[in-house]
């Protein structure tokens, strides 16, 4: 993944409640509850980072190695792309 990750803001509505990000797909009505690393990843998808930069920033935030969180982050990003919530990667 090498292109900048961008939220498809026309495809969802979101709100944050007590640290939990709730995202609703406007196409399907599906709700997503994002907490912990998922919420942190969602926040880092701000249109300025490609996947590598996002992974590096996420690893720094959680004080771990990108190689340790890469597979889980990759799966999460792919699920966001498949849901139509983000583009790029």
Write the burial class of residue 59 (CB in 10 Å: 0-12 exposed, 13-18 middle, 19+ buried). Answer: middle
For residue 88, the model assigns a pLDDT of 80
Rounded to an integer, what distance in angstroms lies between the CA atom of residue 49 and that of residue 79?
18
For residue 1, the model assigns a pLDDT of 55
For residue 2, the model assigns a pLDDT of 66
Strands (E), the chain: 6-7, 12-17, 20-25, 31-34, 86-87
Residue ranges and CATH numbers for the domains of the chain are: 6-79 (1.10.10)
pLDDT beneath 70: ranges in the chain: 1-2, 89
Q: pTM for this one? A: 0.92
3-state helix, strand and coil shares in percent for the chain, rounded to the nearest 5: 45, 25, 30
């Amino acid at each position: 993944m090498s292109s900048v990750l961008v939220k498809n803001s026309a495809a969802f509505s979101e709100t944050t409640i007590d640290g939990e990000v709730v995202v609703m797909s406007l196409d399907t009505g599906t709700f997503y509850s994002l907490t912990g690393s998922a919420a942190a990843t969602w926040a880092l998808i701000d249109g300025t980072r490609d996947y590598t930069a996002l992974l590096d920033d996420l690893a720094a935030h959680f004080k771990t190695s990108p190689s340790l969180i890469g597979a889980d982050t990759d799966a999460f990003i792919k699920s966001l792309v498949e849901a139509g919530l983000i583009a790029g990667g």
